[in-house]
């Protein structure tokens, strides 16, 4: 049996059992899509629906996005189960650290993962991935995968290229990219860490960020979002994937991750015990940048 089929059938079986035994209120997973290379999100509430679950190389979405936001499924007294790839599990860790969810409210179905595709090739995040086996899971689907050196050893290579541009080149690069933004906010909606009940861009009294898709409004939007994700973004690449205008949003978030790592040695979503640096004060914190 190929890996896909095996993992899919294990996933169906587990989802069915969890729902039959009433251990969870819902299972959030992947189902067959209508287009080649695409999968659909499926929120199953009864055991019959569990038959539709699949897992394959196209399961690129980070389903942890359903754990926050207004459609919280966690209102029930039972936990909700979610299919999460090893990289997606970092979202749960980050959300717990930020007191958005409780560990006992989530049943993590960890999917061991060889890498997923986005369009034609291996997704960018998978090229540099060093975590093919799920951690902190309540159940693991799939066999253990041998960890090996990834194809891309420096995930920040592209960020460094941009850092090396002159200020003017960098300005040009980003104004050209932001020029395409039509302010649909798909990037925010697909981001599991953009869960604010009222996003700053929707505030009108006073209005902090102009909502019009003109150069000023777009620049302000992208800068504020990058700042808000600093030290929080777990690098799932969803913002990037969903932007139909192909604006390389994850470069901004990677840059912020790099800064936070350089300053505090902190990576979001990796260690459930760690305190997010921007919510904690330590006497020995690096403060050379405060002038």
Interface contacts to another protein, rule CB under 8 A: 33-36, 38-43, 61, 65-66, 70-71, 176-177, 179-180, 182-186, 189-190, 202, 204, 207, 210-214, 217, 238, 241-242, 244-246
Decide: is 185 part of the binding site for ligand SF4 (CB under 6 A): yes
46: helix, coil or strand? coil
Which does residue 82 bind out of another protein, ligand SF4, none, counting CB within 5 to 8 angstroms by kind? Answer: none
Q: What are phi and psi of 140, to 5 degrees?
A: -115, 135
Q: What are phi and psi of 256, to 5 degrees?
A: -65, -40
Determine the length of the chain.
291
**C-beta closer to ligand SF4: residue 143 or 244:** 244
53: helix, coil or strand? strand
Among positions 93, 123, 137, 253, the unique one binding ligand SF4 when judged by CB under 6 A = 253
> What 8-state DSSP symbol labels residue 137?
-
Partner residues linked to 141 by β-bridges: 111
**C-beta closer to ligand SF4: residue 14 or 251:** 251
Are 201 and 211 in contact, with CB atoms under 8 Å apart?
A: yes
**C-beta closer to ligand SF4: residue 15 or 190:** 190
Minimum distance, C-beta of residue 251 to another protein, in the bound complex (Å): 13
Composition of the chain by helix, strand, coil, percent to 5: 35, 10, 50
Minimum distance, C-beta of residue 52 to another protein, in the bound complex (Å): 12
Decide: is 256 part of the binding site for ligand SF4 (CB under 6 A): no
From CA 144, how far away is CA 155, in angstroms rounded? 24
- Which residue in 146, 44, 63 sits closest to 110, CA to CA? 63
Which does residue 3 bind out of another protein, ligand SF4, none, counting CB within 5 to 8 angstroms by kind? Answer: none
Which does residue 93 bind out of another protein, ligand SF4, none, counting CB within 5 to 8 angstroms by kind? Answer: none
90: helix, coil or strand? helix
Decide: is 237 part of the binding site for ligand SF4 (CB under 6 A): yes
Are 221 and 231 in contact, with CB atoms under 8 Å apart?
A: no
Minimum distance, C-beta of residue 119 to another protein, in the bound complex (Å): 11
Give the binding range for ligand SF4 (CB under 6 A) out of 51-59, 142-150, 222-230, 280-288.
222-230
**Strand duo 117-118 + 121-122: pairing:** antiparallel
Decide: is 67 part of the binding site for ligand SF4 (CB under 6 A): no
Binding site for ligand SF4 (CB under 6 A): 181-188, 190-194, 196, 199-201, 225, 228-229, 233-239, 242-243, 245, 247, 249-250, 253
């Amino acid at each position: 049996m190929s890996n896909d089929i095996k993992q899919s059938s294990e996933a169906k079986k587990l989802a069915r059992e969890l729902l039959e035994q009433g251990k969870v209120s819902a299972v959030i997973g992947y189902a067959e899509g209508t287009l080649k290379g695409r999968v659909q999100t499926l929120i199953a509430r009864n055991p019959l629906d569990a038959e539709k679950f699949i897992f394959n190389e196209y399961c690129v979405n980070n389903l942890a996005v359903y754990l926050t936001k207004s459609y919280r499924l966690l209102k029930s007294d039972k936990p909700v189960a979610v299919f999460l790839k090893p990289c997606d599990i970092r979202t749960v860790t980050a959300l717990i650290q930020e007191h958005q969810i409780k560990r006992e409210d989530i049943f993590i179905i960890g999917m061991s993962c060889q890498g997923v595709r986005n369009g034609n090739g291996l997704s960018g995040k998978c090229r540099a991935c060093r975590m093919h086996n799920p951690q902190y899971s309540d159940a693991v689907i799939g066999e253990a995968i041998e960890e090996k050196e990834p194809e891309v050893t420096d995930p920040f290579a592209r960020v460094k290229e941009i850092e090396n541009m002159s200020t003017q080149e960098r300005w040009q690069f980003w104004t050209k990219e932001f020029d395409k933004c039509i302010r649909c906010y798909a990037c925010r909606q697909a981001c599991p860490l953009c869960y604010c009940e009222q996003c700053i861009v929707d505030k009108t009294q006073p209005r902090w960020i102009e909502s019009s898709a003109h150069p000023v409004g777009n620049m302000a939007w992208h800068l504020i979002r990058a700042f808000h994700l600093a030290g929080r973004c777990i690098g799932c690449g969803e913002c990037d994937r969903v932007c139909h205008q192909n604006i390389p949003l994850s470069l901004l978030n990677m840059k912020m991750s790099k800064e936070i790592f350089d300053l505090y040695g902190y990576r979001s979503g990796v260690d459930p015990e760690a305190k997010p640096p921007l919510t904690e004060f330590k006497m020995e914190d690096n403060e050379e940048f405060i002038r």
